Amino acid sequence: MYRYLEGNLAVKDATQAVIDVGGVGYELSIPLSTFHHLPAAGAKVKLLIHFVVREDAQQLFGFFTEEERDLFRLLMTVSGIGPKVSLTVLSGIGVQELKEAIVNERLEILTSISGVGRKTAERIIVELREKMVLDEKFKKKKTQSGETQPEIFETGLAALTQLGYKKHEAADIIRKVLTKRGKDITVEDLVRESLKNF
């Protein structure tokens, strides 16, 4: 829905940033990796965002790079992991190190992140490793629709959950379809193929 915010950096700390856009202060939750790239308060800044809407809250998450945001979204597809844990993971380990830990099944690296237990680390590896290998260790590939694989995965998952399917079941089926069809698939085709597999 929203792709980025650009304005003056009003406030920043290790977990949050406030961007003043036309006199409105947008509060963003951010990982440490983004915090380290922020300019001094008062300077112009542009952050990519992910908007989470729940019954009891609306929350914005900010990221300095597409890679950070894509990883955040992928982490949230893991069963039992929400935005808070996803942000914790990104704050506790570098992006490249995280990808390598998942692909190489380095459980000890993931469990070294504060707040990530063994079971959570195992789910991350089991549910994301195949996808990262499929995407050639998470290098972006453009599809016929012009979207990246992570974007198509996220959009397809959102569509299926809105249709009433359980998130973890939908994610498993989407991964199977992407493995079979590879990069040559649109969101519409992905949803259609996934529905046939339920």
Structure confidence at residue 142 (pLDDT): 43
CATH hierarchy code of domain 4-63: 2.40.50.140
Structure confidence at residue 161 (pLDDT): 82
Which residues, in sequence order, are CB contacts of 71 under 8 Å at separation 6+?
Answer: 90, 95, 98, 99, 138
Structure confidence at residue 182 (pLDDT): 67
Domain ranges of the chain: 4-63, 66-136, 140-198
Residue 140 has pLDDT above 50, yes or no: no
Is pTM beyond 0.75? Reply is no
Integer Cα distance of 96 and 196 in angstroms: 35
Task: State the average pLDDT for the chain.
Answer: 85
66-136 is a CATH 1.10.150.20 domain: yes
Look at 20-29, 131-140, 187-196 and tell me which has the smallest mean pLDDT. Answer: 131-140
Residue 53 has pLDDT above 80, yes or no: yes
Structure confidence at residue 1 (pLDDT): 67
Whether 66-136 shares its CATH topology with 140-198 is answered no
140-198: CATH architecture: Orthogonal Bundle (1.10)
Which residues, in sequence order, are CB contacts of 180 under 8 Å at separation 6+?
Answer: 193
Average pLDDT (159-178) is 84
